[in-house]
Structure 1
Amino acid sequence: HTDGSVEATKLPELIDPWQPFKDIRAITHQVRPGVTAECRMEGDTFEMEDQRNWSDASYKTYVRPLALPWPYVLPAGQTLRQTISLRIAGEGKAPAAAVASEPVRVELGEAGPTLPDVGVVIYPEDVETALANLSTLTTLGPQQLLFHYDPTRGHGLDALRAFARLANAHAAATTLECVVVCAGDLDAEMSGVADLVRQAGLKLSAIAVSPSVDRQSTPPGSTWPDCPPLEDVYAAARRAFPDIRLGGGMFSYFTELNRKRVPADQLDFITHCTCPIVHAADDLSIMQSLEALPFITRSARAIFGAKPYRIGPSTIAMRQNPYGSATKPNPGGQRVAMADSDPRHTGQFAAAWTIGYAARVAPVGLEMLTLSSFTGPFGVLASSGEPVAEGSHRPIFQPIKGLCELAGLAHVSARTSDETKVLALAGRSASGKTIAWLANLTAEDVQVDISAFGRGQVAMTPYAIVRIG
């Protein structure tokens, strides 16, 4: 620390909502037996943030400390000096890493929890396209339609009537993702929504509610925005919708749920999303974000226990920005953080990421997983200007359809010998049939040993997905 004291500690297993380490001068850790690394940071007081909150596979050490007032003024002409030094110490030479030439092996374990329902999120502006492609929606086969309803964006009776037309045309469970304005009497607001739902003829299986202000992040040291107690918000929603299931949590990311832990005893399920391009948008960082997902789900279970648990919509592109006024337009199709569209969603990369995502969260026993919309920038159908014809299937269609087919099957533990390269997801039916999906997470060809399925080997091209069974 800056006072010269030394603390022996560990990086936390569960995700810390705030900064796990503060007042840092240096960090020393063991790289491997006999080899240590010291990172010394001088010129300011550094602190560390647990980036797994945002599904990054990393921690971030930074200045200026958030405990100090901000924003702050730097006087003109003032010189600031900061120094970062890295010192590696070890006994002799470390052995050279062997080049792995063996195929990645898949191993099957025991059966576990049921694989979740798969949802697709539907926005009011997407309904007409969905109605025009009902046969494709049926082929995709989602068990749930997640209707996004936001009065702060002008959604009202017309939006609910559009949802009702789609719900009547496609047999699936329905959940209303309802943003609560919280500008006045909560009972009046929620009963008003219920009245509109009845007028629209929309049959709902569940409703999830969250205050509008909770979509924005409240960083450490900041003042929380005005918001009615969540107990009151949930109680008003329950009174307005007494006959359907009630969910809550955050329509933003796990970060916000970890920092503002909702009173789950009033809820039938909790929910949150993730987004892999909050801080970095390169290919490697996005695939590495999958490594953080088990820490997120374990942390959520540590907070909320066995409460039914939903995740999504979680997509590569950012649908809503808790850390700024808006998402970034991306008309050039670049790889940029916090963008409202991402070129990889329309390619094979998203197919591999989708299977990888489902594989990483399967052991926790989710109730529902939503990894796409049906149309639009987060959808499974192509838009104009893409390499494939408008309305045809994007590569992500196949894995979403595959996840829909796995829903309700028992999850079978499936590990690979190198999960930085290949992830596996498997389910087993009541008759004992096992179906598995493999995803190559890399831009390289990978040879995979699938003898666990009574087969030999399969060659996977970059970002390929393979169904077995």
Structure 2
Amino acid sequence: MTWWTEGMPWRSGRWSLELRGDELADIAIDGRVVLRSIRAVVRDADWDTADLVVDRVQPRDETLMLHVRSAGLGSSFTGVVRVEARQAQLRVILDLESAAEFATNRTGLVVLHPPTLAGTAVEVRHPDGTLTRSAFPREISPHQPVRDVAALTWQVDGATVDVAFDGDVFEMEDQRNWTDASFKTYSRPLDLPFPYRVSAGGRVRQSVAVSVAGKLAPAPPASDTITLRPGGSFPDILLGAATAPDPAPPVEPLENGVLVELDLRVPSWRAALARAAGSAAPLDVRFTGIEDAAETDAAAAALRGLDVRRVGAFASAGAAAHVSDADTVAALRAALDRAGVTVPVVGGSRSHFTELNRERHRLPSDLDGVTTTVAPLFHATGTEQLVESLEMQRLVARQAVAAAGGVPVHLGPVSLRPRFNNVATRPAPTSPATDLSEGYGAHLTGTPDERQSAPELAAWTVASAAALAVPGVASLAYFEEWGPRGIRSSDGGDLPVAAAVRALCDGDGGELLWGDSPDGLVWAIGRRCSATTILAANLDRRPRSVTLEVVGDVRRVELEPGTFRAV
């Protein structure tokens, strides 16, 4: 595959957008983006998203017509997405018909607002005609900041933007929780029962009208300077343990460590622990399924004699699912005490930052560290989503550190796609094998991404580390040792991303040098030991010339698109 999505630009009068597959992206008036995107989605009862296949595109001067059909998950929708452009208004109309009955959690239009609106006042028009005043949240909001929406109006750079919704009641969520670069307005409200059913022959008709009064001021030019400053200790860089099937190839371990996730309800957990320990690297162990006391005691005892840096546990089900609630942590601590194992106990969320943000009141106050993970390709799978997530990763890291209250933060595994579906209603797939002949964990419950072998992933990984390594973050765990989600192939050969991980690991300890990206596309991170090394990455589509200011030293660095280099 190509790293970037090949889009089709469309322009009508003052309006422009880019068609990326089924997504109407970067909707702009007079060259200024007002909406990140509008798209139609079809999601099943597990929140999995069916493909929306675009069979035919009809671009005209004032209209853009997409003939679409859903594919997969038992869905059978066909219909159109129509864009109509006028002088100061752009309207998107969806009309779908289902050939068969379909249970869905959401089918309809979603609108993505750019994250630059954070802190902007917004007026909410409700279906009954009443008005309330709110704001796009500055901090990542754990719950819906705006509900019961018929229209949203805000002012930005000298213009008034109004977005009106028809066909259902809408509400907004803060998608920065999942490191998406957007606030999302969608239907139907989550307070209503789901899944709901669309009957055979049933229609879904919705529209979104975007109106702009006044003229937006031109966007200021982006800076090309990154200023790095000291930020405490450089974080340990770990790898996720391989979850692919045996046989394991011979690979050189990273001395910083391996993070291994073990579900004690699955018979192969002992084999997975033994294989991770065989790397000869220190272990960061995360348990689920500790509701069985005997199995938990066996797991704690299995840690004796191993080089374990920290251990965590997460609830498997119930209101605290995927979170380290007080009962789960207490059960882990008791098992460790009985086994005579003394090791720091960490906790947080194992699915997304969302769960840490929403459920952090469940975490006990005596944790030795706080954890959460990053998986940008949850709501969408385009490379634009990957790149735009970088600035959101910075927000997640800062907010996680603030929530941790002074204890170290451990971020990871960082993966491209989620390692499991934390909102699924069906049981996760498992193997009855006690060995690793079928793999385990993410190999069975997640989806690999072919960009794992892309050369540009190396630059993305450096940029991600630069975004996540804020003061207070003690470790970052990336991908897996080898396999479809690894930094090496299943035969042990290095993939391009391995060079980035090795560059991040090069050095022992040292001081972190960190700073902000000027535009989310160029990033830098440094380590100061006996010498200072800076890694700079360019995720832009074009070459970039970047000025690095590092503790009194100024350097100019030339970076080709999708590359990183050491300075």
Deviates more, 1:141-150 or 1:277-286: 141-150
**Aligned partner (choices 233, 238, 248) of residue 347 of structure 2:** 248
Which consecutive residues of structure 2, in runs of 5 or more, have no partner in the other structure?
1-125, 430-444
C-alpha deviation, 1:125, in angstroms: 5.2
C-alpha deviation, 1:180, in angstroms: 2.1
Once the two structures are superposed, what CA deviation does each residue of 1:340-359 show, in whole Å capped at 9, x if it has no partner? 11121111221111111111
Task: Indicate whether 1:43 and 2:170 are aligned.
Answer: no
Residue 363 of structure 1 corresponds to 470
Deviates more, 1:260-269 or 1:51-60: 260-269
Residue 506 of structure 2 corresponds to 405
**Aligned partner (choices 285, 288, 305) of residue 176 of structure 1:** 285
Q: Which residue identity is paired with 1:175?
A: D
> Is this contact kept in 2: 1:39–1:85, CA < 8 A?
yes
Residue 395 of structure 1 corresponds to 496
Residues 425, 126 of structure 1: alpha-carbon distance in 2 compared, 3 angstrom cutoff: farther
- In the comparison of the two structures, how many residue pairs are matched? 419
> Is this contact kept in 2: 1:297–1:364, CA < 8 A?
no
Once the two structures are superposed, what CA deviation does each residue of 1:70-106 show, in whole Å capped at 9, x if it has no partner? 223456777664332111101xx556668x6x99333
> Which residues of 2 match residues 407-426 of structure 1 at below 5 A?
408-416=509-517, 418-426=518-526
Q: In structure 1, what is the Cα distance between the partners aligned to 2:343 and 2:161?
A: 55
Task: Indicate whether 1:285 and 2:385 are aligned.
Answer: yes
Residue 31 of structure 1 corresponds to 156
Task: Indicate whether 1:213 and 2:320 are aligned.
Answer: no
Residues 69, 149 of structure 1: alpha-carbon distance in 2 compared, 3 angstrom cutoff: closer
Task: Indicate whether 1:15 and 2:140 are aligned.
Answer: yes
1:252 partner SS: coil
**Aligned partner (choices 481, 488, 494) of residue 381 of structure 1:** 488
Task: Indicate whether 1:143 and 2:244 are aligned.
Answer: no
C-alpha deviation, 1:284, in angstroms: 1.1
> Is this contact kept in 2: 1:163–1:202, CA < 8 A?
no
**Aligned partner (choices 227, 242, 248) of residue 107 of structure 1:** 227
Residues 456, 396 of structure 1: alpha-carbon distance in 2 compared, 3 angstrom cutoff: same
Q: Which residue identity is paired with 1:304?
A: A
Q: In structure 2, what is the Cα distance between the partners aligned to 1:408 and 1:395?
A: 24
C-alpha deviation, 1:256, in angstroms: 1.9
> Is this contact kept in 2: 1:173–1:205, CA < 8 A?
yes
Which consecutive residues of structure 1, in runs of 5 or more, have no partner in the other structure?
215-223, 328-337, 384-389
Q: Which residue identity is paired with 1:408?
A: G
**Scaled by the length of structure 1, what TM-score is found?**
0.80
Residues 407, 68 of structure 1: alpha-carbon distance in 2 compared, 3 angstrom cutoff: farther
C-alpha deviation, 1:10, in angstroms: 1.9
Q: In structure 2, what is the Cα distance between the partners aligned to 1:303 and 1:20?
A: 19
1:212 partner SS: coil
C-alpha deviation, 1:312, in angstroms: 0.5
**Aligned partner (choices 439, 443, 452) of residue 541 of structure 2:** 443
Residue 298 of structure 2 corresponds to 192
1:244 partner SS: coil
Once the two structures are superposed, what CA deviation does each residue of 1:222-276 show, in whole Å capped at 9, x if it has no partner? xx48899932221121122131111122221111222222323132112111111
C-alpha deviation, 1:457, in angstroms: 3.9
Task: Indicate whether 1:117 and 2:236 are aligned.
Answer: yes
C-alpha deviation, 1:65, in angstroms: 0.7
Residue 421 of structure 2 corresponds to 321
2:136 partner SS: coil
Give the structure with the higher percent strand. Answer: 2
> Is this contact kept in 1: 2:242–2:481, CA < 8 A?
no
Task: Indicate whether 1:353 and 2:460 are aligned.
Answer: yes
C-alpha deviation, 1:420, in angstroms: 2.9
Q: Which residue identity is paired with 2:267?
A: G
Q: Which residue identity is paired with 1:392?
A: G
Residues 156, 37 of structure 1: alpha-carbon distance in 2 compared, 3 angstrom cutoff: closer
2:540 partner SS: coil
Q: In structure 1, what is the Cα distance between the partners aligned to 2:201 and 2:271?
A: 58
Residues 454, 364 of structure 1: alpha-carbon distance in 2 compared, 3 angstrom cutoff: closer
> Is this contact kept in 1: 2:262–2:287, CA < 8 A?
yes
> Which residues of 2 match residues 48-63 of structure 1 at below 5 A?
48-63=172-187
> Is this contact kept in 2: 1:251–1:271, CA < 8 A?
yes
Residues 126, 4 of structure 1: alpha-carbon distance in 2 compared, 3 angstrom cutoff: same
Residue 328 of structure 2 corresponds to 233
C-alpha deviation, 1:7, in angstroms: 2.5
Q: In structure 1, what is the Cα distance between the partners aligned to 2:414 and 2:504?
A: 15
